[in-house]
A = this chain, B = another copy of it.
Amino acid sequence: MTGNSPYRLDEQIGYLLRRVNQRHLSIFAASIPGVTAMQFAALARLAELGALSQNQLGRETSMDAATIKGVVDRLVRQGLVVAVPDSEDRRRLTVTLSDSGRTLFEATTATALKVSERTLAPLSARERSRLVALLLRLT
């Protein structure tokens, strides 16, 4: 009776999530050169919510403080975003979409939606919304 459960890696939720995410990132990179999926997520939140502090932006995009710092640094370097120290709270770094950042976001939004579609392409419309609904509950 030695706990002989045959561990099936291929059916483990973590392994599946990783593989599907890999496929998605690959489709994204091929479809939208210039920014990564993470960088695009940051641009999307800034377009949606307006100016945010760096850490707030991190929270809104599910990146921790160290990670969002790197993403913002690279977006600043590309001129897609502006980071300005706040005059009220001198710890805060306020991040805003630049004109070219907004332009790029608006120009690529449709393509980004197509990336999601291509990732979900093997599923029917009903299956897609089922999957999204299930994943939302695992957040």
User: What is the interface of chain A, defined by CB distance below 8 A to chain B?
Assistant: 3, 5, 7, 9-25, 28, 37, 41, 44-45, 47-48, 61-62, 106, 109-110, 112-113, 115-116, 119-120, 122-123, 127, 130-132, 134-139
Contact = CB atoms under 8 A, between A and B. Distances in A.
A112 B17 contact: no
Q: How many copies does the complex hold?
A: 2
A113 B13 CA distance: 10
Contact of A24 (B14, B113, B134): B14
10 contacts: A7-B47, A7-B109, A11-B132, A13-B119, A13-B135, A14-B116, A16-B136, A17-B21, A23-B139, A130-B130
A123 B113 contact: no
